[in-house]
């Protein structure tokens, strides 16, 4: 796709403008981790693109070392309304705590962090593993499955529904709207999806206000923010965050991880034979190698990145996909070494590190261990050519697996 015509800001040198195919929101048989990502890393550390998110222009920062200071910079970069979901339906609300900034963000995280602490998430381990085993039991004797449909999508959605106390029969409906919200290619379709998700979460919040339970929404309502209770809009914002993070990110990661294992039998066997402790390390390497998400920051105060002036209002894309394969940060970044013990930014960095990181890791570890224990040597269905969704969230639309 050629660079689109844009109104270039005066402070941007036309010679550094380029189009990044990685963000095009298109399906391709080409594996971006093997082609476009190494190609981008052969270029400048910072450049301007016409399509950083939903065809909006902005800055691309490819180096791991440059991303980390931006993640931690409260003075020059903000997240408020950076997803654009509220604006799609003509409203003004924030996804909490994702779209808030300090000191507001600090207060929300102080209230929410205890609900997602490592010890609390560790206590969910048996339940998460049981859920993965239930799904695997549904297809393990068939000798095949469509992994994305049968496991990668269902696994995090079923956990999300339990965590907010909603019956599992809502799963097909939520999966449909999640697809339209995150991967929709039309404004109309994505707008309709935002309206549905908003209605679903508001309905759930109202039910929890009336009859509190042990679910995460009820637990959040019982906490305080700077000495006061949460408003309904704030709880809604938190619920929207659970919906996005709990469904799409885990699905994307587990799909990419299992494509790797299905096409690299030695690594698959390593996971199968590893101890749980060794697989904790292995999953971190898979997270680095297959970082899937790009998030947006908005410049709030003039600053400089690697010699380039960034002005208020400029968009800056933080692509963990690029950071995870940075040749200046990792020795032989294209090699997947399951004992590498990498430090990565797949789940964010600094004060905006993913709220649900410990749950996400538990889900990914359980998926890898339980699937390889239950299923013998598996591979991609012979003749199937894998497609990748090139987007701000790299995903596989399908992954048919077979085993004997």
Distance CA 195, CA 192 (A): 5
Domain ranges of the chain: 14-376+384-403
96-144 pLDDT, tens digit per residue, is 998 888 899 999 999 999 999 999 888 989 999 999 999 999 999 999 9
Class of domain 14-376+384-403: mainly alpha
Across 24-174, the runs of DSSP E, i.e. the strands, are 26-28, 46-53, 56-61, 77-78, 144-146
Binned at pLDDT 50, 70 and 90, residue 243 comes out as: confident
Cβ contacts of residue 103 below 8 Å, gap of 6+?
Answer: none
Residue 35 pLDDT greater than 60, yes or no: yes
Binned at pLDDT 50, 70 and 90, residue 3 comes out as: low
Cβ contacts of residue 345 below 8 Å, gap of 6+?
Answer: 64, 67, 68, 71, 291, 318, 320, 323, 324
Distances (CA, A) of 399 to 133, 263, 387: 19, 11, 9
Sign, Cα dihedral of 117, 348, 343, 335: positive
> Which of the residue ranges 44-58, 139-153, 204-218 has the most confident prediction, judged by mean pLDDT?
139-153
Binned at pLDDT 50, 70 and 90, residue 1 comes out as: low
Three-state secondary-structure class, residue 322: helix
Mean pLDDT, range 371-387, rounded to an integer: 97
Q: What is the average pLDDT score of the chain?
A: 91
Binned at pLDDT 50, 70 and 90, residue 400 comes out as: very high
Binned at pLDDT 50, 70 and 90, residue 4 comes out as: low
pLDDT at 277: 94
Distance CA 362, CA 266 (A): 23
298-307 pLDDT, tens digit per residue, is 999 999 999 9
Q: What is the percent of the chain with per-residue pLDDT over 90, rounded to a whole number?
A: 68
């Amino acid at each position: 796709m050629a660079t689109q015509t844009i109104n270039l800001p005066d402070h941007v040198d036309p010679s550094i403008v380029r189009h990044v195919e990685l963000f095009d929101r298109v399906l391709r048989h080409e594996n971006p981790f093997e082609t476009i990502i190494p190609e981008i890393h052969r270029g400048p550390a910072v450049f301007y693109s016409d399509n950083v998110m939903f065809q909006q222009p902005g800055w691309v920062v490819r180096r791991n070392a440059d991303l980390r200071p931006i993640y931690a910079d409260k003075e020059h970069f903000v997240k408020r309304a950076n997803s654009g979901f509220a604006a799609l339906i003509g409203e003004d609300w924030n996804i909490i705590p994702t779209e808030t900034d300090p000191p507001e963000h600090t207060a929300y995280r102080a209230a929410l962090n205890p609900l997602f602490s490592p010890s609390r998430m560790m206590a969910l381990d048996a339940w998460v593993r049981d859920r993965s085993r239930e799904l695997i039991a549904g297809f393990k004797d068939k000798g095949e499955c469509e992994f994305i449909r049968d496991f990668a999508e269902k696994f995090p959605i079923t956990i999300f529904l339990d965590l907010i106390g909603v019956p599992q029969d809502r799963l097909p409906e939520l999966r449909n709207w999640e697809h339209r919200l995150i991967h929709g290619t039309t404004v109309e379709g994505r707008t309709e999806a935002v309206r549905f998700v908003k209605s679903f979460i508001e309905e759930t919040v109202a039910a929890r206000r009336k009859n509190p339970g042990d679910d995460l929404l009820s637990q959040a309502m019982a906490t305080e923010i700077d000495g006061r209770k949460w408003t309904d809009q704030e709880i809604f914002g938190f619920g929207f965050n659970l919906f996005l993070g709990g469904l799409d990110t885990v699905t994307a990661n587990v799909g990419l991880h299992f494509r790797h294992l299905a096409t690299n039998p030695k690594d698959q066997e390593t996971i199968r034979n590893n101890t749980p402790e060794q697989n904790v390390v292995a999953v971190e390497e898979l997270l680095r190698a297959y970082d899937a998400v790009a998030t947006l920051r908005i410049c709030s105060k003039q600053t400089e990145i690697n010699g380039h002036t960034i002005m208020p209002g400029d968009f800056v894309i933080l692509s963990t996909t690029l950071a995870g394969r940075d040749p200046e940060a990792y020795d032989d970044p294209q090699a997947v070494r399951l004992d590498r013990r990498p430090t990565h930014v797949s789940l964010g960095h600094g004060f905006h590190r993913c709220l649900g990181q410990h749950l996400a890791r538990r889900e990914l570890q359980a998926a890898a261990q339980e699937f390889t224990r239950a299923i013998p040597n598996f591979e991609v269905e012979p003749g199937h050519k894998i497609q990748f969704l090139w987007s701000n969230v790299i995903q596989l639309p399908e992954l048919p697996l077979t085993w004997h």
